[in-house]
Structures are given as C-alpha cells and as structure tokens.
Amino acid sequence: MLVSPFPTLRDDLIAAFIVSVLLIPQSLAYALLAGLPPQAGLYASLLPLLAYAALGSSPVMGIGPVAIVALMVSQAIADAPAGANPHAVALVLAAEVGLLLALAAWWRLDALAALLSVPVLHGFETGAALSIALSQLPVLLGAAAQGSNLPRVLASWADAPTPWWPLTALYGAAALAALWLLRRHAVRWLSRHMPAARATLLARFAPLMVLAIAMAVAAASGAGARGVALVGELPALGESWATPPLDARLWWHLLPSAALIALVTFVSSLVVAESLGRRQGTRIVPRRELAGLAAANVAASLGSGMPVAGSFTRSVVNLDAGARSRMAGVFTAFVMALAIVLLARPLAVLPNAVLAATIIVAVLSVLDWRPFREAWRYARPEWVLMAAVCALTVLHGVAWALALGVVGSIALLLQRTARPHVALIGRVPGTEHFRNVDRHEVELVPEVLALRIDESLLFTNARQLSDVVLQHLAQFPGTRRVVLQMSPVNHIDFSGLAALRALHDMLAGRGIRLDLSEVKGPVLDGLRMGGWRGWFAGDLYLSHHQAMRGESPVTPVV
C-alpha cells in the first residue's frame, strides 16, 4: 500500500487527472454547442474551478461548462442584438449570472431553488437534452445548418447550401458508434482482463482514445483540406484573453436570459451537490453553493470563459475517482492548464463532428424516461406539466418552457390547496384515534359533528369553509356542536382567520357551538396574537378524543 503524508491530497490529485480526461473534450464540445470559439470552454475550466473551491461547499462538484447552460447561452446569443460578438455575449452573461447569484447569496434567496419542482426540472432537462442532440445533428453530418430548437434547426437545414458532407458524416457516425459502444460495453470487456475497479478507471479514458484516433486519422489524411470542419488552431494560453464589454445596452438586453441561466445553474448544481452529498454524508449549504457558483461565474467572465455550472457527470466521476476535498477542483484547473499548453497543436486537427458525437452521446445517455412513467401513474397533472415543459423546450426555447413550468407548478399548488378533502370523523373502536367514516369502521357521537378539513386555512380555500360545514350540517340536522380536528391545519392566514370567525358566528347564529381540537402550537400562538378570544366562544382541546369525551378543555382561557 502506498503511504503518503497527505493521503487526501494524493486522492484529490488522482481524481483531478481522471476528471480532466472527461473535461477536455467536454469543454471544447460545450463551447461549440454554445456557438463560441473552443478556447472559451477550456478557459472556463481554469479560474472558475479555483473560485468555486474557495467559496463552495461541495467537495466533489465538477464545475465548468455544462450542456444545458451552453444551450441557454446559444439561445441568448441567437436573440442578442445584431452584430454582438458571441463571445462578448457569453462573457456578459457569465458576469451577470455571477452577480445575480452573489445577490441571491447576499439576500438569502436560496429558497428560490424551490421554484423548479421535480417535474419541471426533469421535463426541462429532458427537453434540453433532446434540443442539444438536435442542434448537434447538422454538425455531426457536416451540414451548414444551426439552431437550438426544432423549428430553427429544420428551417436552417432546409435553407442550407450543403445538407450534408459525406466525409464529415463518416467521422461523425464512426465517432458516435465508437463512443456509444464503449460507453455501454467498455467496462464489461475490460473486466474480463483486469479487476473491476481498474476496468472502470480505464474505461474513462475510452472517449479520449476515440478523440486521439480521430485526430490521428484527420491529421494523416488531411481531413481539413477535404472539407471536414476542424476545431482549428487554439490561441496560446492568455493570448486571446477577452473581458466582458462594458456596453450598458447589451447588459440590460441580456439580463432576463442571465436571470434564467442563474436559476438553472443554481438549481441544477444544487441537485447534483445534494444528491452526492447524501451519498457521502456531507452537508450542503445552499447559500454557500450560491456563493461558490457566483464566484465561479465571475471568474469565468473575467477569465475569458463562458457561464459555468456544476456538471452531474463530472461530479460523479470525481466522487468515484476518490476526490476528498475541494482541492481536487484546484488540481483539475492546473491539469487543464497543462493540457491546454500541451494539447493545443493536436486538438487543432480534431473534427467538429467528433466533438458533436461526444455531446450527443453525453446528453442522450443521461436521458431518463422513468420519471415520466412514474408521474403518469402518480400525478397526472404533474405529468402534463412535465411533458409540456419538455415539448416547449424542444419546440420553442428554454425561457418560455421554464416560465410555463414555474407558473404551472404554482397553479397546481394553488388548485390543491383550494379544494381540500373533508372527512367526517369518528372513533376507531378501542382506541383514542379518529378517522374518516367513509374509510373505517368508526363510532360517532350523537348531536356532535366532528370534521377534519385536510388543508391549512388559506385565502385559496377560506371562502368555502362555512359552505363545507353547512353541507355536513344539512345531513345531521340535530347537530348541537361542531368539533373541528385541526391536526391538518398547518397555517391560518388572515383570510382563513376571517373565515373561521365567519363560521363561528354563523354557527352561533344557529345555536350551534364550535370547538376545536388538536390545534398545533404555532397556529395557536398566532390565534392568541390575533386576540381571538375576543370573538371565539368555543373550547380548545388538546386531543380530539378529549374533545369528544367532553373532558374539560385544556386551555379554557387566553
């Protein structure tokens, strides 16, 4: 066994090498996807990693260019004012994303992550993966077409002077097939000859091998001269350094796109950090994630990169490769800097079609239709939302899809709270427990109507409270007392308080007493602050059982 005075650092260094193997092609590919020069992706894999390591909270987060953000950047570039330089747009976006995330960290807006529900996020990620694959199809086949949603790609392709270029398509198809087969079978093939752990490790180098072979073939056959689009000469490190232009009109124009990118960056990175954090047992602090991502994006902007986020694939690789602290990210940055210097020449002859194949394999292999099936069974309206967000992402763009998703999630929530389930409850024989008469064999008490309204009393449902009780009273005309079991009532807002008072007064007008049981502590605190004893004449019982037995109420006054 190898002994080292810094075992953590050694593990981090090994992880950094393995992650870099993945990061080099992805950096180039996502810059291509965003419509940027290839060095934008490479530079976005240097300083941002150091910045995140300084402020973030996840030890394994793989910061850098990611596919979804690259897609959003490409759409922002397409909608930018005519004549705006694409890389300038990307740098302004990165700066704005960084500043917005910093503001969010400062104002403690990490709860905004909740705006993207699971169905919305999944529908969006699926739609984005499809859009990304679609946008790379022309590159893969050598067509002079582009676009980041289905109608644009089709329209551009219809107008393209060259619908495909056979030699380019050959590179693309071969790379696609090789990458796909290696991804599916490499580990299994290798494990026949070596231990599983080593096979897994070695398999990670498979994509880099494909790229190396493609570069060798392209260089040997002079592919560039035969019309195959290549990555091209990379500028020497630092030579093409660019900073965001200080053009107020451009900044203002890009602000909405930046806000969306910031939201997606934060939520998607947080999901990665939290799911790996649960696996590792490390605690993720959302506010520190905001700070880390903010710093990373500001660094990307000043460092001639493009907007960055946490990559799920690279974070998992980082974790599996044994990264133990955020130093792994620091080392990755240094490995990347070294790689840029050493690999600049060979990368120049890499066909873009091979990079496109890398992207397509990466995004399609994480496609997951299970949540669609699960949502279909569990919650049809949420399935509809998921499918609509997915379709809108493919057919139109990210902005409208996300807006629909947020508004739709909120609408579903409002609708849920607006139509509460109401149960007439009775005692389960032999216990002190009360349940719905329609579902359980229970005992009722004559002249007492015991109801459980399964929702907080909120403005969305407040208006119905009296109606609901009246409907039940109509079935039990002899009722002299109504007892509401308040265990499902988690909040009573001002509208709910007014409704409770209206119910109390309506019942009092009919000579019926209103009592409450199992009011939760925080709800009761609120009622007391509101001076409810000024109008509430009923009693309050600790448990519903006590209320039904007519035991003396626990808190008769206050």
Of 287, 433, 472, 513, the residue at the interface with a copy of itself (CB under 8 A) is 433
Q: Residue 515, interface with a copy of itself (CB under 8 A)?
A: no
Q: Residue 458, interface with a copy of itself (CB under 8 A)?
A: yes
Q: Residue 125, interface with a copy of itself (CB under 8 A)?
A: no
Q: Residue 262, interface with a copy of itself (CB under 8 A)?
A: no
Q: Residue 274, interface with a copy of itself (CB under 8 A)?
A: yes
Q: Which two tokens mark 460?
A: 């969305």
What is the DSSP code (8-state) at residue 114?
Answer: G
Task: Name the residue nearer to a copy of itself (CB basis): 1 or 114.
Answer: 114
Q: How far is the CB of 536 from a copy of itself (least distance, A)?
A: 13
Neighbours of 377 (CB within 10 A): 8
Are 513 and 480 a contacting pair, CB within 8 Å? yes
Angle at 238 between CA 228 and CA 208, to 5 degrees: 45
Task: Provide the CA 487 distance to its chain's centre, in angstroms.
Answer: 33
What single-letter amino acid sits at 425? I
Torsion-angle region of 518 (φ positive above 0: left; ψ -120 to 50: alpha; else: beta): left
Q: Residue 402, interface with a copy of itself (CB under 8 A)?
A: no
How, if at all, do strands 481-485 and 513-517 pair? parallel
Of 420, 442, 465, 515, the residue at the interface with a copy of itself (CB under 8 A) is 420
Neighbours of 146 (CB within 10 A): 17
Neighbours of 488 (CB within 10 A): 16
Q: How far is the CB of 411 from a copy of itself (least distance, A)?
A: 10
How, if at all, do strands 434-436 and 422-427 pair? antiparallel
> Computed over its alpha carbons, how large is the radius of gyration of the chain?
30
Of 490, 533, 537, 550, the residue at the interface with a copy of itself (CB under 8 A) is 490
Q: Tell me, by CB under 8 A, how many residues bind a copy of itself.
A: 76
Q: How far is the CB of 119 from a copy of itself (least distance, A)?
A: 5
Name the one range near a copy of itself by CB under 8 A: 171-179, 208-216, 314-322, 466-474.
466-474
Q: How far is the CB of 408 from a copy of itself (least distance, A)?
A: 11
- Residues 212-251 vs a copy of itself: string with x where CB under 8 A? ----------------------------------------
Q: Residue 114, interface with a copy of itself (CB under 8 A)?
A: yes
**Residue reference for tokens 């990458």:** 179
Q: How far is the CB of 37 from a copy of itself (least distance, A)?
A: 37
Q: Residue 27, interface with a copy of itself (CB under 8 A)?
A: no
What single-letter amino acid sits at 142? G
Q: Residue 542, interface with a copy of itself (CB under 8 A)?
A: yes
Q: How far is the CB of 178 from a copy of itself (least distance, A)?
A: 35
Site for a copy of itself in 380-399 (CB under 8 A): 382
Q: Residue 470, interface with a copy of itself (CB under 8 A)?
A: yes
- What is the enclosing helix (H) or strand (E) of 431? none
- Rounded to whole angstroms, how far apart are CA atoms 215 and 351? 7
Task: Name the residue nearer to a copy of itself (CB basis): 46 or 512.
Answer: 512
Of 428, 445, 451, 468, the residue at the interface with a copy of itself (CB under 8 A) is 428
Residue 556, exposed/middle/buried by CB under 10 A (0-12, 13-18, 19+)? exposed
Name the one range near a copy of itself by CB under 8 A: 170-178, 227-235, 243-251, 268-276.
268-276
Q: Residue 198, interface with a copy of itself (CB under 8 A)?
A: no
Q: Residue 439, interface with a copy of itself (CB under 8 A)?
A: yes
End-to-end CA distance of the chain: 71
- Rounded to whole angstroms, how far apart are CA atoms 307 and 330? 18
Q: Residue 419, interface with a copy of itself (CB under 8 A)?
A: yes
Of 8, 146, 240, 436, the residue at the interface with a copy of itself (CB under 8 A) is 436
Q: Residue 558, interface with a copy of itself (CB under 8 A)?
A: no
- Rounded to whole angstroms, how far apart are CA atoms 445 and 437? 12
User: In 3D, which of 44, 46, 50, 49 has the Cα closest to residue 65?
Assistant: 44
Q: How far is the CB of 329 from a copy of itself (least distance, A)?
A: 24
- Rounded to whole angstroms, how far apart are CA atoms 441 and 345? 79
Name the one range near a copy of itself by CB under 8 A: 147-155, 163-171, 193-201, 519-527.
519-527
Task: Name the residue nearer to a copy of itself (CB basis): 79 or 374.
Answer: 374
Task: Name the residue nearer to a copy of itself (CB basis): 459 or 476.
Answer: 459
Rounded to the nearest 5°, which phi and psi values hold at 83?
90, -10
Q: How far is the CB of 477 from a copy of itself (least distance, A)?
A: 13
Q: Residue 377, interface with a copy of itself (CB under 8 A)?
A: yes
Q: How far is the CB of 553 from a copy of itself (least distance, A)?
A: 14
Torsion over CA: 324, 325, 327, 328 (sign): positive
Site for a copy of itself in 285-304 (CB under 8 A): none
- Rounded to whole angstroms, how far apart are CA atoms 269 and 274? 9
Task: Provide the CA 121 distance to its chain's centre, in angstroms.
Answer: 5
**Residue reference for tokens 């449902």:** 461
